Amino acid sequence: MPGTHRVRRGPGLPRSPGHRRISSRNGLGRRRLLALAALSGFVLPLTGCGGSGSADTGKASNPYGLIEAGTIRSATQTGQPPFAYAEDSGKPAGFIVDVTDEAAKRLGLKVDYKSTSVTGSLAGLTAGQYDLASSGLGVTEERQKSVDFTKPLFWSTVTVLTTSKSTISTFDGFNGKRVGVVTGSSQEAQLPTRIPKAQPVRFQAQNAAVSQLLNGSIDAFLVGGPDATEFMKQYKGLRQAVSAPVDHPTSMAVPKNHTAFLKALDKEIGAMVADGTYAKLYRKYFTTQPQPELLAAWPALKTQFPGAK
């Protein structure tokens, strides 16, 4: 077994009819026994020290407890613009992806992105498949039972996306209608309170829901405000029916009890806010001013977005 030292017994003292008399008159046998006992006493502490050194070395080479030292294995999505999506080349892009890349660079780490769904990313974190979920995840009480979240990266709204043919402009107006939601999304959890009598239609990805909305299979799609804005840019036949603020931030998620990694991410996000990098990335993807709740979370943003309240 590695790290274990085996003590080999010395040859036993010969037994003879006069062995007791020899032992009582000669201290040689006793000295041998004492020597063996002393040797055993020194071996055990050395074994313990060897194990501790190995643990210390492992911690030093992988201080954040990542699945693979030096690399963040991150779950992301390919159809959640502007937070996380895939470029034509297939390369991950988006606001959360850019924040992840910048934080990783400052920590001296690489990022290995794995495309999955909302439910897949959260389940993968709890199963030890991912170190991080880099997408626009709403921080809900239910999710906090199984994963931990970084400090707020965005404060969103919830929007009912519909087609230009529809004239409905209230949440209640969609009662009785077929309303799409992404399985596992925060919007799915909000549907019963926003539109209590809606007929839910669940999808694994946003792109699928938008496709069904465009062809008339569903009447509306309950989605995050920034996401709705991006889809309206892509498809002229879509419009925002109604929108409202939400009561939770948008963040990245890590497995439970990965304290060192979470603290390191939050520290780098804070540094990005302080030096203006966060504001630069924000303006790259969003035209609206940060919500008051986000400004409260990061007071330094108040001077970087003078028009925000």
Q: Is the pLDDT of residue 31 over 80?
A: no
- The pLDDT value given to residue 309: 73
CA distance 220 to 163: 8
Q: Is the pLDDT of residue 17 over 50?
A: no
Predicted TM-score (pTM) of this structure: 0.76
> Residue 258 — pLDDT band, cuts 50, 70, 90?
very high
The predicted-structure confidence for 109-142, as pLDDT tens digits, reads as follows 999 999 999 999 999 999 999 999 999 999 999 9
Contacts 24+ apart (CB under 8 A), 172-175: 173/241, 173/242, 174/198, 174/219, 174/220, 174/241
Instruction: Give Dmax over CA atoms of the chain in angstroms.
Output: 113
Q: Is the pLDDT of residue 6 over 70?
A: no
Rounded mean pLDDT of the chain?
A: 86
Q: Hey, what are 133's tokens?
A: 């979920």
Q: Which of 293, 300, 255 is nearest to 73 (CA)?
A: 255
Mean pLDDT of 16-33: 44
Mean pLDDT of 241-254: 96
DSSP SS3 for 68: strand
- The pLDDT value given to residue 103: 98
CA distance 61 to 70: 8
The predicted-structure confidence for 139-186, as pLDDT tens digits, reads as follows 999 999 999 999 999 999 999 999 999 999 999 999 999 999 999 999
CA distance 72 to 105: 11
Q: Which of 217, 231, 150 is nearest to 179 (CA)?
A: 217
- The pLDDT value given to residue 189: 94
Q: Hey, what are 58's tokens?
A: 């492992």
CA distance 307 to 290: 9
The predicted-structure confidence for 42-74, as pLDDT tens digits, reads as follows 443 333 444 555 555 567 899 999 999 999 999
More confident residue, 57 or 268: 268
- The pLDDT value given to residue 93: 97
Dihedral class, residue 132 (left if φ above 0, else alpha if ψ from -120 to 50, else beta): beta
Mean pLDDT of 204-220: 97
Q: Is the pLDDT of residue 254 over 60?
A: yes
DSSP SS3 for 160: strand
- The pLDDT value given to residue 275: 98
DSSP 108-150: T-EEEEEE--HHHHHHHHHTTS-SEEEEEEE--HHHHTTEEEP
The predicted-structure confidence for 79-99, as pLDDT tens digits, reads as follows 999 999 999 999 999 999 999
Q: Hey, what are 107's tokens?
A: 């920590």
> Residue 308 — pLDDT band, cuts 50, 70, 90?
confident
- The pLDDT value given to residue 59: 73
Q: Which of 100, 23, 108 is nearest to 61 (CA)?
A: 108
Q: Is the pLDDT of residue 20 over 90?
A: no
- The pLDDT value given to residue 57: 59
Q: Is the pLDDT of residue 1 over 90?
A: no
CA distance to 6, 65, 230, per residue, from 265 (Å): 45, 13, 27
